Amino acid sequence: MTGRILLKTALFFLIWMALSGKFNFLHLTIGLGLSLGIAWLNTWPLTGDKMRVSWVGVLTYVPWLFSRILASSIHMVRLILDPKLPIDPQLFGHQTSLPHHAAVVLLGNSITLTPGTITVEVSPNELTVHSIDPASSNDLLSGTLEKKVATVFPSQPRMKA
């Protein structure tokens, strides 16, 4: 426990020094105090369950999500600038069977981050999504987004809701 706190403190302190770029007494003591405090806060259990994250999954997921965000942004610009304003908003529930709370959170955040779709309500099994037109929710309805999220959190048994 203490070892973990010290390790995290050292890491945060390094980041502090890199970002502040000042090495006088005042900056270093403030940085050390904050690093220690944040490292201590970090030991509080937030979810209570362990998770495994595939870093390869993360490194492929982020660029993919970004390309989707770019594509739907352009779609959104077209919708807004169209003189007829051809929007068709819908509110629908989406069942999900992702293994972990963190995975559902990532799915919900990805949906909200993509222009054109917003997660309105979240539960471990279902997301309520508002979309501005049917084309915006294609990725979600076809299950592509969920499959990509699953690659970030590999092979874990489904936890109880």
Partner 1 sequence: MGGPRRRMATTIAIIFLSLGLFFLLVAAIGMVRLPDVFARAHAVGLTDTMGAFFMLFGLAIYEGFSLNMLKILVVFSLLYLLNPVVTHATIRAALRAGVKPWMKGPS
- Give how far the C-alpha of residue 110 lies from the chain's centroid of Cα atoms, to the nearest Å: 6
CB closer to partner 1 out of 3 and 61: 61
Q: Using alpha carbons only, what angle is made at residue 112 by residues 150 and 146, rounded to the nearest 5 degrees?
A: 20
Can you tell me the distance from the alpha carbon of 46 to that of 100, in angstroms, rounded to the nearest whole number? 14
What stretches of the chain adopt beta strand conformation (E)?
90-95, 117-122, 126-131
CB closer to partner 1 out of 122 and 150: 122
Smallest distance from the beta carbon of 32 to partner 1, in angstroms?
Answer: 20
Which residues are near partner 1 by CB under 8 A?
18-19, 21, 69-70, 73, 76-77, 80-81, 85, 87-91, 108-122, 130, 132
Smallest distance from the beta carbon of 108 to partner 1, in angstroms?
Answer: 7
Smallest distance from the beta carbon of 98 to partner 1, in angstroms?
Answer: 16
